[in-house]
Structure 1
Amino acid sequence: MTHLPASGSTLALTPGQVTLWSDVGANTEPRRLPPSKITRRPVLATDTALARAGAGDYDAWLDHVWSAAGCVRPIRLIGEVVTVDRRTGEIIGGIPTAAMPDGVIYKACGNRRAAACPSCSQTYRRDAFHLIRAGLVGGKGVPAAVTSHPAVFATFTAPGFGLVHTRHVPRHTCADRRRCACRPAPCHARRDRAVCPHGRAVVCFARHERGDARLGQPLCADCYDHAAHVVWNNHAGELWRRTKQAIERRLNQLARQRGLPPVRVAHGKVAEFQARGAVHFHALLRLDGHLRADPEALRPPPPGLTVTDLADAVEYAAAVTAFHTAPHPAQPSGWRIAWGAQVDVRTITMSGASASDVMVAAYLAKYATKSTEVTGHLSRRLTAATVAHHADPTGTHAQRLIAAAWRLGSHPAFESLRRWAHMLGFGGHFLTKARRYSLTFAALRAARVHYRRAQTPGPEYAADRLGRQSDLDDMAVVVLGRLSYAGTGWHTLGDALLANTAADQARQRRQAGLEDLAHQAATPSDLQAA
């Protein structure tokens, strides 16, 4: 068996470009020229793509890689796949990966970030949509009765750490905010044309458009409190935990005053980076009843508590929740961690009158696939050997934030700042939920695997090529993998081109089918018959 290199590639994600460093989208095509001969000239994948497509085992190879075909950087695994008797534990047989195409098994990377892998992030986004929406309308194991539970959609923002360029639209006249072309107000218009202690004017009369590179950048980088910024990001998760507790305490106080049984709040939450690099949270909060004798039961709240009470409790908790961090030599009294003044709370309805269930679920799922790329920074975890490439105390805004996180992280009480310096201090999950809010990602993935294995193969496949199992729970044998990591990326750039093209065509066919079904559902039956 030929051992494949485990290192990253020097090939770019898209054909026609050469990059001389390992990065997102790298593949493992071996060098054909000595390092001294490598130049920045166009590189074509035609030779390897044609060689692969013209080989006699192309169909078998495409079948083999199909589960990871759309992935930018699939994981390659080597070892053996064995069949085990479920009753006795006896190994009945096995297939080494050396006998498979390329001698490896390709597994999709599963990265949630759209900037890292568009295909895997799309799967994650769709799972997130169903997970969030099931907590509002039921289904997938969640009782449909949750539609009657009061629910709000709240946005919690970070406080200010210094003046930054912003885009504010005082009055929207557009129908779709995603394509908003409304005229923004001047960024920071001041008549006195004040200057900061560093001699820079803290005024900006520009009406910034979407995508303006200045958005989120400080008016004076030396005045901006980068240390407080990264510390706040680092403690935002704890601030949310305390806020959630304050919301439930407030609601239970109201319940006791009104002679009602206790309640609890279930949530689904997404963290989003603003252009300035500060994290803010979008949270869906649902009011549930709580029976201490049966804490696992999902019960409706008592009629005496309304969605208005829930919204008031959220606004109250956001205003009063705050704490101080541990002392640091740079801040002996610790940093105060609290929410910013901008807290938006909207009622969720099933009719779309305020914020509909579909809109909220799609919104949260969309931002669950994003990260620090909005700030212009995208890197993996930093080490002492690599931090100098991304941190600069006198550099760009993102470089100063990373430098502040690395410097403050030298203190034992703040060492997590170094671990999460590449995330500008934030170390929490981007999508979290209460345990009783909805189902889990694991349940969605298991259902998808069960469906794919149990579905009837199409006419283009022979029955002996794809064996299906109607019910996986009734299987007499199980298939286990004794696999180890062999590397990341496609074997050649031509393989990546062919696999991604085939996967894209399949997605387009699926999208066309969904659009056709939607058209049929919207067309009256008498017109369909005609």
Structure 2
Amino acid sequence: MAADLMTVVPDQARSGPGHRPASSTGFVGRDESAFHRATDPNVFDWLDHVKAAAGCFHPIRLSGEVATVDRATGQLLSASRTEDMPDGEIYKPCGNRRHAVCPSCARTYQRDAYQLLRAGLAGGKGVPASVAGHPAVFVTFTAPSFGTVHTRVVKRHTCGSRRRCDCRPEPCHPRRAADPTARPCEHGHPSVCWARHEETDPRLGQPLCLDCYDYDAQVVWNHSAPELWRRTTIAVTRHLRTRARQLGLPWVEQVTASGRVRRVPPGKPSFGKVAEMQRRAVVHYHAIVRLDGIHPYDPDAVIPPPAGFGVDDLVAAVEHAAATVAFTTRPHPAAPSGWGIAWGEQVDVRPIAADGEITDGKVAGYLAKYATKSTEATGHVSRRLDGEVIDLYANHQGSHPERLIDAWWTLGRNRDWQHLRRWAHMLGFGGHFLTKSRRYSTTFRILRDARVIWRRTETGHEYADQPDDEPTLIVGLLTYAGSGWRTTGDALLANTAAAMARERREVAREEFAAVV
């Protein structure tokens, strides 16, 4: 039976639908299987074989044949079967981006996300270095309020590092006794909180009154957030087009692939966006918006915008879009007129500058951190829900996440809204956590392909230095064999080897930084 690395790593236990323990007896047999593998004469060959997936919590196992073919002639140059490899299978990392599911794969995804986002601001990875001079802003779009929740606000920071902030926060929701809003709500719960919450306080993000909170509106807003973002990008583009006319900037005559000539605005925004699930279980967006010029002959070229088109115009376009974009959802028996969808009042727009407070490295690191997060900040972690397990997570009189899931499931009873239930496990949000416009930067696939080439070169792969005039194609004729490690002992040894390798890399990186 396949073993999950979660079961052998301290403080990483998980539960929920779809999770299966390595065995019905937990850790029984772990020492025996680990000893058996460690005393195998071919243990080092096995460790080298699973190196690519050694730190993965639930690797994918493949079996079959890998062939190397000459691209020009189609001739089979060589073939290797997994039967001749250790365990008779190839181990591939699961590739899950969620840190709560697989920290090892999430770290890889986070580093790729950092490179992708930073390349759009500083260049590199196929993006011209001239983008560093393009006007760019860092924007945070928040959701409106659906009810009062416990918060932690620090107005004046005196700490040296925000990551370990120990500054004294303000009272959560203070009110004077004579203030009418200080009275208890209609359900008898206090509307005042004088607590100065710590960062680890479990009350953060929880409503002061669960019965007053508008759960229907929040889950519908979560589901509608991707559409709201799409409309916002259109509004930013249109506002910049109008601004270009006001400035009298000449339109660009662009030649299409078919040879036709069309007149287009002289500037176009590019976007990189990451969604973050807040503790109150509602998403908000962190985005990079960059202003580019238009090349008359190459529509994919990234060039600077025309003179006179600057960061102030970009800030105005984003603020205008955030304040004006809104729409109404389709009707529902719970809301016959539909729900109004718009951004909240707290929209933060900050210019990005190489020598300013907001730099490309800080922004990319900030967004990449949230790219591996999901719903765990809310206290809810589950896989896709269905009618068999929904009662384990939904309760209209339960906790904050349980009421959200119940609201989502209940709204999905309507025939026109049945598609909502598909995203109940995500508290309504069905969009991608990291997206970008096509021109903004490179792609994850290009980064992953570069990593594969580097690993083959590092390990001395026989085709790593294949000359360009004799290109080859590696074809994998593989089928799915299973998921997870074969035994908990294998999981323990693979994770230990991966942890030691990470430690060596970190030490080498620190020593190199000290020398430089």
TM-score, with structure 2 as normaliser: 0.91
> Deviation at 1:478?
3.1
Counterpart AA for 1:105 = I
Relative CO higher for 1 or 2, CA cutoff 8 Å, sep ≥ 6?
Answer: 2
> Which residue of 373, 376, 380 corresponds with 1:373?
376
> Deviation at 1:95?
3.4
> Identity of counterpart residues, as a percentage?
57
1:205 corresponds to which residue? 194
> Deviation at 1:23?
6.2
2:511 corresponds to which residue? 516
Size of the aligned set, in residue pairs, is 497
CA distance in 1, matches of 2:13, 2:348: 46
CA distance in 2, matches of 1:502, 1:191: 59
2:273 corresponds to which residue? 269
Measured at CA, do residues 18 and 392 of structure 1 come closer, stay the same or move farther in structure 2, by a change above 3 Å?
closer
SS of 1:500's partner is: helix
> Deviation at 1:469?
1.9
CA distance in 2, matches of 1:15, 1:320: 49
> Deviation at 1:145?
0.8
2:430 corresponds to which residue? 427
1:490 corresponds to which residue? 485
Does the 8 A contact of 1:10 with 1:22 survive in 2?
Answer: no
Does the 8 A contact of 2:5 with 2:491 survive in 1?
Answer: no
Does the 8 A contact of 1:27 with 1:73 survive in 2?
Answer: no
> Which residue of 321, 329, 339 corresponds with 1:325?
329
1:342 and 2:357 are equivalent in the alignment:
no
SS of 1:109's partner is: coil
2:312 corresponds to which residue? 308
SS of 1:349's partner is: coil
1:96 corresponds to which residue? 81
> Deviation at 1:85?
3.9
1:504 and 2:499 are equivalent in the alignment:
yes
Structure 1 unaligned residues grouped into runs of 5+: 458-465, 522-530
CA distance in 2, matches of 1:15, 1:150: 46
CA distance in 1, matches of 2:45, 2:468: 28
Counterpart AA for 2:513 = A
> Deviation at 1:72?
0.6
CA distance in 2, matches of 1:396, 1:426: 19
1:87 and 2:72 are equivalent in the alignment:
yes
Counterpart AA for 2:174 = A
> Deviation at 1:393?
1.2
CA distance in 2, matches of 1:338, 1:20: 35
> Deviation at 1:480?
1.8
Counterpart AA for 1:347 = P
Counterpart AA for 1:197 = E
SS of 1:175's partner is: coil
> Deviation at 1:215?
0.4
CA distance in 2, matches of 1:323, 1:472: 56
Counterpart AA for 2:275 = A
Counterpart AA for 2:357 = S
1:284 corresponds to which residue? 288
Does the 8 A contact of 2:239 with 2:317 survive in 1?
Answer: yes
Counterpart AA for 2:481 = A
2:258 corresponds to which residue? none
SS of 1:155's partner is: strand
Does the 8 A contact of 1:186 with 1:205 survive in 2?
Answer: yes
SS of 2:7's partner is: coil
SS of 1:447's partner is: helix
SS of 2:352's partner is: strand
Measured at CA, do residues 21 and 277 of structure 1 come closer, stay the same or move farther in structure 2, by a change above 3 Å?
closer
1:470 corresponds to which residue? 465
> Deviation at 1:195?
1.2
SS of 1:200's partner is: coil
RMSD: 2.3
Counterpart AA for 2:388 = A
SS of 1:227's partner is: helix
Does the 8 A contact of 2:384 with 2:424 survive in 1?
Answer: yes
CA distance in 1, matches of 2:141, 2:221: 13
2:35 corresponds to which residue? 50
> Deviation at 1:375?
0.3
CA distance in 1, matches of 2:471, 2:309: 52
Counterpart AA for 2:373 = K
Does the 8 A contact of 1:27 with 1:491 survive in 2?
Answer: no
Measured at CA, do residues 220 and 400 of structure 1 come closer, stay the same or move farther in structure 2, by a change above 3 Å?
same
Counterpart AA for 1:388 = D
1:147 and 2:147 are equivalent in the alignment:
no
Does the 8 A contact of 1:151 with 1:348 survive in 2?
Answer: yes
CA distance in 2, matches of 1:397, 1:240: 26
Does the 8 A contact of 1:10 with 1:27 survive in 2?
Answer: no
1:461 corresponds to which residue? none
2:254 corresponds to which residue? none
Counterpart AA for 1:505 = M
Counterpart AA for 2:227 = E
> Deviation at 1:392?
1.1
> Which residue of 141, 151, 170 corresponds with 1:156?
141
1:270-320 Cα shifts (integer Å, max 9, x gaps): 000100000000001101112465422212111112211211211111011
**Which range moved further: 395-404 or 414-423?**
414-423
Counterpart AA for 2:451 = R
SS of 1:329's partner is: coil
Measured at CA, do residues 21 and 113 of structure 1 come closer, stay the same or move farther in structure 2, by a change above 3 Å?
closer
1:113 and 2:116 are equivalent in the alignment:
no
**Which range moved further: 151-160 or 12-21?**
12-21
Counterpart AA for 1:96 = R
CA distance in 2, matches of 1:199, 1:141: 60
CA distance in 1, matches of 2:423, 2:115: 29
> Which residue of 297, 301, 304 corresponds with 1:297?
301
**Which range moved further: 233-242 or 10-19?**
10-19
> Deviation at 1:45?
2.6
> Deviation at 1:10?
11
1:243 corresponds to which residue? 232
CA distance in 2, matches of 1:480, 1:27: 34
Measured at CA, do residues 364 and 19 of structure 1 come closer, stay the same or move farther in structure 2, by a change above 3 Å?
closer
SS of 1:420's partner is: helix
> Deviation at 1:468?
4.6
Does the 8 A contact of 2:353 with 2:359 survive in 1?
Answer: yes
Counterpart AA for 1:185 = E
> Which residue of 404, 409, 414 corresponds with 1:411?
414
Measured at CA, do residues 515 and 484 of structure 1 come closer, stay the same or move farther in structure 2, by a change above 3 Å?
same
TM-score, with structure 1 as normaliser: 0.89
CA distance in 1, matches of 2:501, 2:78: 33
Measured at CA, do residues 383 and 365 of structure 1 come closer, stay the same or move farther in structure 2, by a change above 3 Å?
same
1:452 corresponds to which residue? 455
